[in-house]
Structure 1
Amino acid sequence: MDQPAEAHAVKRLDPLLPEQADAADPDVHAWVAASAGTGKTQVLTARVLRLLLAGAAPPSILCLTFTKLAAAEMQARVMARLAHWAGCPDDDLAHDLAAIRAPVDAETCRRARGLFAAVLETPAGLAIQTIHSFAQGLIASFPVEAGITPGFQTLDDRAAALLRRRVLTDALSDRSDRGFRRDVEAIALDGGEARLHAIMAGLGKYGEALAALRVEGVDPLLRRMLGMADGGSAAATLAAGLAGLPWDALADMARALGQQSGVNALKLADGLAQVVGAADRNGLWPKLWGLFFTGKNEARKPTGLIPKALDEEEPELREFCVHVQNQLLAIRAEQERWQILEHAGRHLRVAVRLARDLAAAKHRAGVIDYDDMIAAAARLLAGAGAADWVRFKLDSRIDHVLVDEAQDTNLLQWDVVQALVEEFFAGKGQRDRFRSLFVVGDFKQSIFGFQGADPLIYRAKKEQFHLLCEAEPDRWKELPLSTNFRSVPLILDVVDRVIDHVGPEQFDRDAIPAHVPHKQGAGTVLLWPPLLAKADNGAADDAAAEDDGDSDEPPLAQDIELARRIAASIAGWLGDADPLILPASGRRARAQDILVLLRRRGRLMNALVGALHDAGVPVAGVDRLNLAEPLAVADLVALVRWVLQPGDDLTLAALLLSPFCNLDHQHLTALAAQREGSLWAEVQASPDLDVAAARDWLAELLRLGRNVSPYRFLEAVLSGPLAGRRRLLARLGEEARDAIDTVLDQALACEAAGAASLQAFLTWMAAENLEVKRDPEAALDAVRLMTVHGAKGLQAPIVIMADACGTLRTEAGALIMPVANGPELPLWLPPGLVQPPPALADALAARQEDARREYHRLLYVALTRAEEMLCLAGAAKANKDGGLPDGTWFGMVAGALADAGLVAVDDPNWPEPVQRLHAGPPVAVQPASLAPASISLPTDPWWQRAAPAEARPPRPLSPSALGPDPVAAPPPDAGRQAAARRGTALHRLFETLPGLDAAVRDVVARQWCALNVPDLDADELLATVSAVLDDPAFAAVFAPGALTEAPVAAVVGQVVIAGSIDRLLVTETDVLAVDFKTGARVPADLAAVPPAHVAQMAAYAAALAAVFPGRSVRAALLYTAGPRLIELDAHALSTWQPSAALPPADPITILTQ
């Protein structure tokens, strides 16, 4: 979403720019390249509106968005505009039609005013939805054809994670498959439990391809990919390779080196002598490799191997060393093939087994996940047979397809889109009218490679659809949108400079037009000085320096200091001493104006939350919280686990060291080291005062945990006398508050799902990689922190790129590539590959290059979130020269602005001057925004008092139950029961028969009586009803338009009146309510009517007076045994008044049917 949603119903549409109008033209296929902030949502909305105005039926339009938020935003815009058109003045409608370049004639205006009703009358409304929602609806309509169990249920992320965990647990419990257990044990030793969960997570995208394999087919498949013959072994291959080395020459080299005086030469001579003289040279292969290569697997320089004196004596040794290194590389390449076969093979075998188990578990449960939806939809629309019929059905329904955020659409999703629109170009559709495709995206903003998105696919699809449109070239339009409505000119100039400095080819394969500002005003860029940790240059020798492989991550202290300095700067902006005035808006900055962006979640984001809390800055917390990471979550889960199992010593030990009990390791050692029984028994028996305090706390914890729901238990621990929240925040800091609140939210969600026990809560929290998402556009006056990925589509007046000094990490995880000309599969490769096979080497290089280009596109997305002010900061390990590492975002922006006129400005929050760039016209400051907000602090410590009992809402009063009833009625005898059944039957006949002809009425009544009350006298019932219906005196009661059994509810005074009126007639001036009484006793007049009946009708009259103010309300009782109609006079209707002192309240509702 490029622009925030505002009051759509009252604001006139801004006229489309010429290129926007071309894109919104419903008579062309449009492929739109929309740079950031160019109003693509406005164009999408205008295109939908013009399609509707041109006569497209609402169900014939399908708009596919990338996120639910985008779908909801667009749906709201379209519906708000249509609702506005339905009743707006003619000049407003004419303005809007002209703004979107639609015809402004009488017919178009008439159609525009009826569109809102037309869309509302469409059963499913406008189909503006995510592609997952469309796929779900598609396969729900054709489940058998899609190969899905009819009536399937869709798993959300949590349910899918829990199912994967259950499948993994069941597989690990299976002792019959020894090969699987061996593979799992090896994987666990190599990558731990996290590796197994990573394999499980990959089953979503590649589960279908994996499940199609057989475990025994994995080895042959990998051998074909690696070019390896059947049989053989790594040991035999290594022995053959080593046998080909020039061992005699190596022995001579060792002797020559042994005569030198240098330490390195003697070490090399000794190492060579050991290998040359070894009986088992295979075992010394790592040592031989290390003699000629560094710890980073880089070839040692000949000058580092051969001393200068020996080099002068035997210059041929240099060339000999290079020759040996080449031979060792060849041996290494063969060994790495065997390592890949073993390492990737075990991972692939485990993945195949788990994929099959997961597919079987889903089939048994009748469930699918989000990845299954897309795969099933693509499979449903592909091929022939049933797919032809499905496409035929869709072809008859869908005429226009619009695709949003197309650069983030993966290949499988494109297959679905292509199947939908191919008939548009083939000319074989059922309809003669023009059918259109609209695609909007931006190569520069493709940043979701980890989800399978590839901008090259986006580009290839453009060419493919263009070719399909060759028969009608005038119908195909490729349109760039470059006018930016979001950012001031300075921000856009910075973006253009960065693109030119880095290289346009790093952001897009096509030429990138300059960003044209539509919004005017001043802007500011701040480059806060990077916090650099000094590099360790104290290597003992060149070899040690070459082997230095320390991480480039800054120390934790640097991140904490960076967070503190950023928080201090923000606090200064928002404070009253020197408030920040937005350079273009001219008003005082608010917390909600600030968006802090990071490349990834982690310790810096957590440190920023804590630092902002400490500085008194309102902060919304992180955009996504992984519940497996915060210590506060781990402490709360341990607390629940121990309450369920007090004999769990390990969990109790963690609790004793946690902020809840606050003991140290000395206390724990004293309790646990020499214990004979359980740890809890030792705690209970300890005389130590600190342990006694912990014991009392834990005892109260056990008491609270008896027969209580997860939320009530946790809330009691956190907010009650145990003060759990205070204890956690005291040690873990304010950044723990968000995690604590999230755990409480999860407890409520767990209970809402029907799992209201502590054990169920533990299972609920055990879902792998459980992430909780926050609405990024929630209306909070607080600083927002999120990743750049999460901020896609958002904007803010002030954007802070807080980790701009990080470098691109080497891609890790499974390599995704086609295996042996088959489908793409995840390959887990062994670390430290030096000479991978060519196919793998090309794939690895391509992956790293793709990552580098996406790293640059991510920078573009981050820069273009800013409206008026952009700040960059970061911490890093300094390079060997003491400067910023190469390839950082900070370095790219600083380099791009080197000649832009940066000015050094002193800032007390930073150790060095801040580089500042400001440009644009001066702005008039809004005086009202400078006044500090008036804050009234309560002096009454209300939070320390117990909350009063919550007032209950009034219980609805039923008028039929009114009246004195001093004595409980005895149980009804047979006669009373028969009378009650007769009364019920008469009510039903009075409800059904009015409006029917007399002849038809008789037949219907007798059939109903025979089916429902065969024991009653049908003739008597029919005679009673007919006597009433045929009497002209009661014609008004049964007039056409009168409602039967009309429910009514209203608030009168402070009482809720709710009931059902037997007969209700509403006219422009009057309201008549009639209630049937079927008893045998008929009052002679109003004075003889039972008080309960009078009170009942008086209450109905009071409710109807509130519902229909200004109309005359009449009430009457129809005694069917007479028949006699007795109308209540004004005095009778006034006998029931809830409170004369209170004004009548607005009615709640009246339901008519």
Structure 2
Amino acid sequence: MTETPANTMQLRASDPRTSAWVNANAGSGKTHVLVSRVLRLMITGTQPSKIMCLTFTKAAAAEMANRLFDQLGAWVSMTDIELRQSLERLENVRSDEARLRRARQLFTLALETPGGLKIQTIHAFCERVLQLFPVEAGIVPRFSVMDDRLSAEILKAAQDRVFCQARSEPQTEVGKAVEDICGRMGANAFDEAIKELLKRRSNLDTVIASSAGRNEALDRLRCRLGLGAEETAESISRAMDLDVRTYKALAEALLVGSAKDGERSAFLLEVLERSAPSLNDLKSFYLTQKDLPRKASGIATKAVTTAAPWTGDFIAEEQRRLCEGLDKLANLERLSASRSLLTLGSEILTAFEIEKRHRGVYDFDDLILRTGALLREKPDAAWVLYKLDGGIEHLLVDEAQDTSPAQWHIIQALTEEFFAGAGRHEGAPRTVFAVGDRKQSIYSFQGADPDVFEAVHDDFARRAAAAGHDLRDVDFTVSFRSAPEILQAVDAVFGKQTLARTGLDGRSPRDWHHEPVRRQVQGLVEIWPLISPEDTEEPDPWTAPVDREPAHSPRRRLAAKLAQTIEDWIGKRLLSGGGRTVRPEDILILVRVRNGFFDALLRELRRRGIPVAGADRLKLSENIAILDLLALAQFCLLPEDDYSLACILKSPILALSLTEDELMTLAMGRGEKTLWRALLSRTEPIYAAAVAHLSRLVAIAPTARPYDFFASVLINSRLRFISRLGSEANDALDALLDQAQTFEDSHPATLGSFLNWFASGDIEIKRNMEQPAGEVRIMTVHGAKGLEAPIVILPDTVSMPDGRQLPPVLMVETGKAGEKLPMLSLNKLYASATVAELRDKAGSQQAHEYSRLLYVAMTRARDELYVCGYEGRQKPKDECWYNLIKNGLEGQMRLLSEEAGSRLGADPVFLGRDIPGPGKDEPLPAWVLSKPAGEAPVAEPVAISKLVRLPAAAMGADTRMARGLVIHRLLQVLPDLTAEARPAQALSMVRMAGCDDSLAHAILDILVHPDLAFIFAPDGLSEVPLLAHLPDLGLDVAGRIDRLLLSPEHVLAIDYKTGREVPAVADDAKPDDLAQMAAYRACLRRIHPGAAVEMALLYTAAPKLLRLPDALLDRAYDQIAVNRP
């Protein structure tokens, strides 16, 4: 075997005889090493059941298991020579026959391992442990793991319960805490505070357990904030009293100075005239508007301090005294607020725990916290560890830099006996293997801490050394992923003494670098000039579109430039690292946060027809496809909801959605009518089709289960949603159906209940973007961790995190080992020294992670990296990504042009592009300057109501029309329901319309009338739109039949008449009604040429069905021909 630096490091790391701690650069093949180590462990005799691999994600666990089984399966079918070569590459030693036999047996051995190979996330491991030892852990046996939605629902219920209790008992400690908190923060800030307490609940157990524990902890926090045990707001304020005599002397001394000094003197004298002047009254005298101490010259000029030297020291001392007093007063406020927060939070968290236990559910944080407590704190911990520890001899941890402190506690408990007790004296050493990279620790919001990553390494090294074992440190510097130019750029940007290096090094700086394996590939790095704001006139805020950026805004211009560039690439130029053209799936666009630019770029790509995967995370409550479906459900339950109906009419739910003009035509001039009533009264085909589609849904909505309702809608509309909104709509629609099923499992399965439940939460789904599906991918850097792409574009390089704004809750170290207590930041209060210290620390940590995020972003690229961005009104900071990259690569790139920017690496190769040289301009062809011939206008179909010229009186007065519409609606909806469901639905509909119950009973009688029941058989059709060309009239006509019964030989069309007058015979029917039915018959004969067409009128007042003879209708039709428009 030929040794290279890469495989030498991999052999050292995968050596099963010793523990190892691997620092792996991005793209250095850590998954390969993890699999190799497991294979070598099994080859050397370790049973598969004795090996545990903990990964960060389910996808990583699945990939590792697949690779492992692929290799084991391949060994089974290899010849002896092939197998020897494979094992030699794995171990760098010669293999004997016994080793070959062992290798071939491993596949079966792994398959037959009880419970399968232990390759899983730490959450999956914890769930398994707790299911095995529920009694020892003090939890409900056979519990289930709840999702974020259910967790939020239970937490909200717990909050409501506590608030209701506080409202009924306002004098209790909890009641007073609620009053105090409500006066200090809004609902959103309070929710964030409670969520922060939830995340920190493992540190708050003793505090939450009792009022005494809470008071002791708050006393430690008081001390940490610099407050004495007896200090109160009154005592602090007394200490800020003014020495009136000295201040009068200061006011007099100021008069010898400048005009400004004179103004300050007058201000002092005005304050001194007050009844009880205090230093607090002099905040504006000593401090700026941002509560920062003024410079001495900003309080008294040199002329004053020269004439009265004592004033300089006096002013400095008073300024210090004021800051100290304000500091204490603000901290006292924060302490009081924190007491209320802890009191209220402890009640809510206790109620939350009780409700979870009652339901037999726990969240993902519970899995970690309760497993940690089981293995380290419970009385049965030693026995549980013995049962578990006896089954684990080798532990492997992937993505160790993203492991939180609570997760490390579990890992340390599992490996406690590896270096002590029985574990240290057994023959084959028990080993720990961890692979990670401080530079890629970007999940602080999930508890990851790179300093803890290093501290755990030191702990393992100390324990191993004490047991006489070795913890081997291995650095993976070789990159199998990126081209040399990409790695050159990374090393330059993150070189020693650079701003970007901040946060990448730990306690001791490492001399890390990147060595390319793909040396023969020539990549490229480009930096484009920033898009700057144009000096354009600001639009009038009154007439400008709401929430829409102007087209000339920098980020919309950058989005358009990127979309145009990508369009020019796809299929038209070669990849730098491969002999083929660029495809959409080759391109990965990474942003720091999802903002307006994210949406603008999606729109630009879609406008150009470029396949794009959409957002990597979807909030269902903000997804347009979901909003359309929710609007549909709301309308179907409440047809008077005009806004929801308007949304539906323009959505992909309808096969022919309305244009803006068609919707405005429908909505304008309808008087007091609802939009639905206006739609029902229109007979044009586009409106008739919408009525036919929606009427069926309105009929089934009151009794439909949520899943059935949405699934039935999506049978026909899913493809239309995807066509209009892109592939992300498909994921959102699937998620909505999943939510509907989840809801039905634990709630009454009604559509109204589902809408209320859905609106009460904020559901976010993470889409699988790991496998390219022929689309450009746009995602956050956090979401792209572990991914790679031939082309990576970084467009969000100027924005930076705002380190000035503190979160609602700060965790303050009290001085007790490991204890941190929550303190409300109350940003509007004076920024005390403690708060300033915490702000600086949080800002520093944020800046460090900002640099690490840039490292992750740059190292996703295989062949090409493009850096661009857009400016705001302010100049980009030196610490922003764009400047970090630009300054780091200074002197290493060649300038293309001021417009194109600079490039490192080879020029891209375009195919089939002719570059025109200088020459004579060709004249434009004549057709370019000529106006195209107009197209013949398309005639609109004529409505039958207009064709027969029905007079206004035929429609009746408003009240009769409203009653008629209700009757039509009842006869449309009720036939599709079961006999048992009809009465309740009928009464509901007539009452909603303001009609008497007798109308419902009358219509129900019609449905079961012996002479009429056949009309409402299940195979009948309601509200059927018609469109046909009538040659004898030379017109296209359109209308809508109330009821249609079809068979191959016979068609019966029935129109409902809801007036009080009922003719005795057909000849007595109104001429307008006969003309209308004659027109309907003509259409039906064109549509069903081989069938006998019969027409009838159903008078609901009698009730009576009047069949119309053909001769009568022939005469009416002849009259239409004479009077046609």
Q: TM-score, normalised by structure 1?
A: 0.68
| 1:451 Cα offset (Å) | 1.1
**Cα offsets for 1:842-862 (capped at 9, x unmatched):** 444333222221111111111
Give the partner amino acid of 2:789: A
Write the distance in 1 (CA, Å) between the matches of 2:342 and 2:843: 22
In the alignment, is residue 514 of structure 1 matched against residue 513 of structure 2? yes
* 1:526-925 pair list within 5 angstroms: 526-533=526-533, 557-574=553-570, 579-630=572-623, 633=626, 636-637=629-630, 640-641=633-634, 643-644=636-637, 702-703=698-699, 705-710=701-706, 713-714=709-710, 738=728, 742-743=732-733, 745-751=735-741, 754=744, 756-766=749-759, 768-810=761-803, 812-813=806-807, 814-819=809-814, 821=816, 823-832=819-828, 834-836=830-832, 838=834, 841-879=836-874, 883-905=875-897, 913-919=899-905
**Cα offsets for 1:265-312 (capped at 9, x unmatched):** 676555444433222557x94x63234322322223344444677677
Change in CA separation of 1:340 and 1:467 when aligned onto 2, cut-off 3 Å: same
Give the partner amino acid of 1:91: I
| 1:468 Cα offset (Å) | 1.3
Q: Which residue of structure 2 aligns with residue 95 of structure 1?
A: 85
In the alignment, is residue 392 of structure 1 matched against residue 386 of structure 2? yes
In the alignment, is residue 457 of structure 1 matched against residue 432 of structure 2? no
Shifted more, 377-386 versus 702-711: the winner is: 702-711
Change in CA separation of 1:320 and 1:680 when aligned onto 2, cut-off 3 Å: farther
Write the distance in 1 (CA, Å) between the matches of 2:535 and 2:494: 30
> 1:554–1:877: 8 Å Cα contact kept in structure 2?
no
Change in CA separation of 1:323 and 1:739 when aligned onto 2, cut-off 3 Å: farther
Give the partner amino acid of 1:567: A
Shifted more, 607-616 versus 182-191: the winner is: 182-191
Q: Which residue of structure 1 aligns with residue 1036 of structure 2?
A: none
Change in CA separation of 1:720 and 1:122 when aligned onto 2, cut-off 3 Å: closer
Write the distance in 1 (CA, Å) between the matches of 2:552 and 2:822: 33
In the alignment, is residue 404 of structure 1 matched against residue 395 of structure 2? no
**Cα offsets for 1:944-985 (capped at 9, x unmatched):** xxxxxxxxxxxxxxxxxxxxxxxxxxxxxxxxxxxxxxxxxx
Write the distance in 1 (CA, Å) between the matches of 2:328 and 2:467: 56
Write the distance in 2 (CA, Å) between the matches of 1:689 and 1:251: 85
In the alignment, is residue 418 of structure 1 matched against residue 417 of structure 2? no
| 1:680 Cα offset (Å) | 8.4
- Aligned with 1:621: secondary structure? coil
* 1:271-290 pair list within 5 angstroms: 271-279=267-275, 281=277, 285=280, 288-290=282-284
> 1:528–1:914: 8 Å Cα contact kept in structure 2?
yes
* 1:59-458 pair list within 5 angstroms: 59-101=49-91, 103-174=94-165, 175-178=167-170, 180=174, 183-184=177-178, 187=181, 191-210=185-204, 212=206, 213=208, 216=211, 218=214, 221-227=217-223, 228-229=227-228, 233-234=232-233, 236-237=234-235, 239-243=237-241, 245-254=242-251, 268=264, 271-279=267-275, 281=277, 285=280, 288-306=282-300, 320-383=314-377, 385-429=379-423, 431-458=426-453
Q: Which residue of structure 2 aligns with residue 1025 of structure 1?
A: none
Q: Which residue of structure 1 aligns with residue 1090 of structure 2?
A: none
**Cα offsets for 1:309-331 (capped at 9, x unmatched):** 76776676555544432222112
Write the distance in 1 (CA, Å) between the matches of 2:820 and 2:762: 24
Write the distance in 2 (CA, Å) between the matches of 1:607 and 1:352: 44
> 2:679–2:687: 8 Å Cα contact kept in structure 1?
no
**Cα offsets for 1:861-904 (capped at 9, x unmatched):** 1111111111122234344xxx3223101110101011113313
Change in CA separation of 1:645 and 1:411 when aligned onto 2, cut-off 3 Å: same
| Identity in percent | 33
Q: Which residue of structure 1 aligns with residue 525 of structure 2?
A: 525
Write the distance in 2 (CA, Å) between the matches of 1:725 and 1:185: 48
Give the partner amino acid of 2:529: P
Write the distance in 1 (CA, Å) between the matches of 2:175 and 2:550: 39
Give the partner amino acid of 1:508: D
| 1:506 Cα offset (Å) | 2.8
Give the partner amino acid of 1:416: I
Give the partner amino acid of 2:902: R
- Aligned with 2:560: secondary structure? helix
* Equivalent position to 1:490, from 478, 482, 485: 485
Write the distance in 2 (CA, Å) between the matches of 1:744 and 1:137: 29
Give the partner amino acid of 2:360: G
Write the distance in 1 (CA, Å) between the matches of 2:404 and 2:718: 51
> 1:162–1:766: 8 Å Cα contact kept in structure 2?
no
* 1:33-48 pair list within 5 angstroms: 33-48=23-38
| 1:722 Cα offset (Å) | 14
**Cα offsets for 1:764-818 (capped at 9, x unmatched):** 5246442111012134011111111111111111111121111232163222344
> 1:533–1:876: 8 Å Cα contact kept in structure 2?
yes
> 1:292–1:299: 8 Å Cα contact kept in structure 2?
yes
Q: TM-score, normalised by structure 2?
A: 0.70
| 1:923 Cα offset (Å) | 9.6
Write the distance in 2 (CA, Å) between the matches of 1:872 and 1:554: 24
> 1:622–1:786: 8 Å Cα contact kept in structure 2?
yes
| 1:196 Cα offset (Å) | 3.3
Write the distance in 2 (CA, Å) between the matches of 1:401 and 1:626: 37
Give the partner amino acid of 1:573: W
Change in CA separation of 1:367 and 1:792 when aligned onto 2, cut-off 3 Å: same
> 1:585–1:923: 8 Å Cα contact kept in structure 2?
no
| 1:617 Cα offset (Å) | 1.5
Task: Report how many aligned residue pairs link the two structures.
Answer: 869
- Aligned with 1:32: secondary structure? strand
Give the partner amino acid of 1:918: L
- Aligned with 2:890: secondary structure? coil
| 1:707 Cα offset (Å) | 2.8
Give the partner amino acid of 1:290: S
Write the distance in 2 (CA, Å) between the matches of 1:106 and 1:215: 67
- Aligned with 2:119: secondary structure? strand
> 2:145–2:363: 8 Å Cα contact kept in structure 1?
yes
Gaps of 5+ in 2: 537-548, 914-1125
**Cα offsets for 1:1100-1140 (capped at 9, x unmatched):** xxxxxxxxxxxxxxxxxxxxxxxxxxxxxxxxxxxxxxxxx
Write the distance in 1 (CA, Å) between the matches of 2:625 and 2:261: 55
**Cα offsets for 1:641-676 (capped at 9, x unmatched):** 465456889989999999999999xx9xx999xx9x
Write the distance in 2 (CA, Å) between the matches of 1:516 and 1:125: 37
> 1:618–1:782: 8 Å Cα contact kept in structure 2?
yes
Change in CA separation of 1:640 and 1:459 when aligned onto 2, cut-off 3 Å: same
Change in CA separation of 1:634 and 1:849 when aligned onto 2, cut-off 3 Å: same
Give the partner amino acid of 1:877: G
Write the distance in 2 (CA, Å) between the matches of 1:651 and 1:784: 32
Q: Which residue of structure 2 aligns with residue 1149 of structure 1?
A: none
- Aligned with 1:328: secondary structure? helix
Q: Which residue of structure 2 aligns with residue 1117 of structure 1?
A: none
* Equivalent position to 1:502, from 499, 509, 518: 499
> 1:621–1:784: 8 Å Cα contact kept in structure 2?
yes
In the alignment, is residue 53 of structure 1 matched against residue 43 of structure 2? yes
> 1:628–1:769: 8 Å Cα contact kept in structure 2?
yes
